[in-house]
Structure 1
């Protein structure tokens, strides 16, 4: 998780925010792992989803 989401650099520390962000990261990781049309790692898929709105919609609707 630290390699693809850089968790060690996250400055969220207040109340339950850290736990909430961990849950969101796990959900994102699971969605990206489930998507099989793009060859590449999690970081590549995250970058493509950031640049291409259609790809992001494909990941979220799968």
Structure 2
């Protein structure tokens, strides 16, 4: 069992927060730096996915109620995976999303290539 205390200061506001998290691990005699790195990497995967969803679909700015939030989350993750798998168009995920909205042939090809 691990106990990690993290501290954060938001530069723009000066707001300071502390948080304690607990982890279950089977790692014995592992350097604390290595464990901290593994934890940071674990959180970075989720943060990177959230960042991509927010940039591509403006997820943080949309208001959903009841089941809509879960349904939208599934749909945007499927769409993001579809756009990531598409290799014929150069550019950002946002550019590919816009192109799919503007070009029905491109959208049709995306859906066919991903077995929708």
Tell me the TM-score normalised to structure 1 length.
0.93
Find the aligned partners of 1:2 and 1:48 in 2 and give their Cα distance: 18
> Based on CA coordinates, which of the two structures has the bigger radius of gyration?
2
CA-atom RMSD, angstroms? 0.7
Which segments of 5 or more consecutive residues in structure 2 lack a partner in the other structure?
A: 1-52
Q: Which residue pairs with 1:59 in the alignment?
A: 110
Find the aligned partners of 1:8 and 1:20 in 2 and give their Cα distance: 15
**Matched pairs, number:** 61
Q: Which is richer in helix?
A: 1
Which segments of 5 or more consecutive residues in structure 1 lack a partner in the other structure?
A: none
Q: Which is richer in strand?
A: 2
Tell me the TM-score normalised to structure 2 length.
0.51
Query: Which aligned runs of 4 or more in structure 1 are off by greater than 4 angstroms?
Result: none
